[in-house]
Amino acid sequence: MSDVGNARQINEDYASYREDESRRLYVIADGMGGHNAGEVASKIAVETVIEYLWESDMEEPVEDYLTKAVEAANEKIYSLANKDDGLNGMGTTVTACLIIMNKLYIAHVGDSCCFLVSGNEIKKVTKDHSMVQQLLDNGSITEEEAIHHPNKNIITRALGTKATVEVDILKENMKGIKIIILCTDGLSNVLTPEEMKEIVMKYDPLLASKELVQCSKSKGGRDNISVIVIEGECEDGWKAVR
């Protein structure tokens, strides 16, 4: 689900996925830049990552393919931004989840998030590339101060803003993972992880996605809001999101 939110005129978020019998890929991005530029950057990021990975005959290590896919997206956005004055300065976050067999691979740049629900616990496995996260890391502010920090929207790493990009890659075992949540900060800045967990445990993925967006809007929801809810390990095998 992707929604423009309560205050914006343009939805600069973009989300998509692709599945086949052997792999499942989910990608979400939150664009930034001038008029329409963020919308362009986020779409390029998501579609490039999906296209790159789907055209690759992936072998081990899978992490290398994920890194190259995000680097390819960065190169495409950066090149286009430098050729078109109307797109100059555009950039985007990106978070991608690739599931192959019982392994989950995550590629991450920016402050969009990936949460995993296991048992009755939810944990955020991605780490924001943001000014607020840096302040948290060096002890300058507390978790409570971070929630309403005035510089919460400033990110320190994005696709398209430089010729090269550093990509965080994570690997998780799918065993015990019930649900995966990918979201932009339009959701994670409004709802707490516990509120997200309560919703995704109550509804199926499609209804949960709708409910997460509606709850975020009801609590203010001034930013674009995007979320992908992915069913994890199932007793009767993998279930695709529809």
DSSP classification of residue 67 = H
Task: State the Cα–Cα distance between residues 161 and 145, nearest whole angstrom.
Answer: 28
Query: Which residue do the tokens 């999906």 mark?
Result: 50
Q: Where are the domains of the chain?
A: 2-231
CA distance 29 to 38: 10
Give the pLDDT of residue 242: 33
The pLDDT of residue 237:
42
Under a CB-based contact definition with an 8 Å cutoff, are residues 194 and 139 in contact? no
Q: Distance between CA 38 and CA 202 in Å, rounded?
A: 33
121-124 and 168-173 as β-strands: parallel, antiparallel, unpaired? unpaired
CA–CA separation, 55 vs 119, rounded Å?
35
Give the tokens for residue 82.
């430098």
Residues in the chain, pLDDT under 70: 35, 234-242
The radius of gyration of the chain from alpha carbons, rounded to an integer in Å, stands at 17
Task: For residue 35, give the nearest of 96, 107, 85 by alpha carbon.
Answer: 85
Helix 62-83 and helix 37-54, axial crossing angle in degrees, nearest 10: 150
Amino acid identity of residue 215, one-letter, is C
pLDDT of 238 reads: 42
Architecture category of domain 2-231 in CATH: 4-Layer Sandwich (3.60)
Residue 177's DSSP bridge partners are 118
